[in-house]
């Protein structure tokens, strides 16, 4: 039985890009912290941007497959620009705001403990907000080139 989804080069290029980008975050984080943290396989943020790699791979694959002048290439390119803008803008600012709120909650808990004349406890202040949401521009830059590279390599393998 013929399955068209198996022949969908743009889909497979995009999925390959996000899987490889997420996998690269583990050794990248290890090179910085000297600790293996496998949660980076599923975390947002970090180097390279998996979302950016995905959408740039998709746009590149569509451009190669459908043509650079196709309306579908235009749509995927605009999608990629929006995702990259969002990653360095709104999502990054939300992560910075989460850091401030987490620090305020921690400071408030410490103040309340001091006012009660209790020793500093080790319990958490409650639910901590996720602080790594968006990307620094360099992470998006490398995510974009990574996604384009994946699409180009897979295209060379796909058309053989």
| Helix axes 71-88 and 137-158, enclosed angle (nearest 10) | 150
**Within a domain: residue 42?**
yes
**Within a domain: residue 24?**
yes
Same domain, 64 and 120: no
**Dihedral sign for Cα atoms in the order 50, 148, 65, 63:** positive
Same domain, 76 and 101: no
> Which pLDDT score, from 0 to 100, does residue 73 have?
97
Same domain, 159 and 114: no
> Which pLDDT score, from 0 to 100, does residue 124 have?
54
Same domain, 126 and 154: no
Same domain, 79 and 55: yes
Same domain, 30 and 69: yes
Burial of 112 (0-12, 13-18, 19+ CB in 10 A): exposed
**Within a domain: residue 139?**
no
Same domain, 121 and 107: yes
> Which pLDDT score, from 0 to 100, does residue 29 have?
83
**Within a domain: residue 2?**
no
CA distance 30 to 19: 18
**Within a domain: residue 54?**
yes
Same domain, 95 and 19: no
Over its length of 160 residues, how does the chain's per-residue pLDDT go in tens digits? Answer: 567 888 899 999 999 999 999 999 998 888 888 989 887 778 777 788 899 999 999 999 999 999 999 999 999 999 999 988 888 776 666 666 666 666 776 766 676 677 776 555 555 556 665 555 566 788 888 999 999 999 999 999 988 7
**Within a domain: residue 123?**
yes
Q: Per the structure, how many domains does the chain have?
A: 2
Same domain, 54 and 127: no
**Within a domain: residue 154?**
yes
Same domain, 98 and 30: no
What's the CA dihedral at 17, 87, 22, 130 to 10 degrees?
-160
> Which pLDDT score, from 0 to 100, does residue 113 have?
73
Distances (CA, A) of 2 to 5, 16, 23, 128, 160: 9, 22, 31, 49, 19
**Within a domain: residue 77?**
yes
> Which pLDDT score, from 0 to 100, does residue 66 have?
95
Same domain, 61 and 111: no
Same domain, 125 and 158: no
Residue 56, domain extent: 8-84+144-160
Among candidates 78, 75, 85, 63, which has minimal Cα distance to 13? Answer: 63
């Amino acid at each position: 039985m013929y399955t068209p989804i198996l022949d969908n080069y743009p889909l497979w290029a995009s999925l390959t890009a996000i899987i490889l980008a997420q996998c690269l975050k583990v050794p990248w984080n290890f090179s910085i912290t000297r600790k293996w943290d496998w949660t980076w396989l599923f975390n947002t943020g970090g180097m390279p941007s998996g979302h950016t790699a995905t959408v740039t791979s998709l746009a590149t694959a569509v451009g190669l497959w459908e043509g650079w002048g196709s309306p579908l290439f235009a749509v995927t390119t605009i999608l990629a620009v929006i995702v990259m803008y969002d990653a360095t803008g709104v999502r990054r600012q939300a992560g910075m705001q989460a850091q401030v709120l987490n620090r305020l909650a921690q400071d408030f808990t410490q103040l309340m403990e001091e006012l009660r004349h209790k020793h500093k406890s080790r319990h958490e202040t409650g639910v901590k907000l996720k602080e790594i949401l968006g990307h620094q521009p360099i992470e998006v830059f490398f995510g974009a080139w990574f996604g384009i590279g994946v699409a180009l390599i897979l295209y060379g393998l796909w058309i053989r």
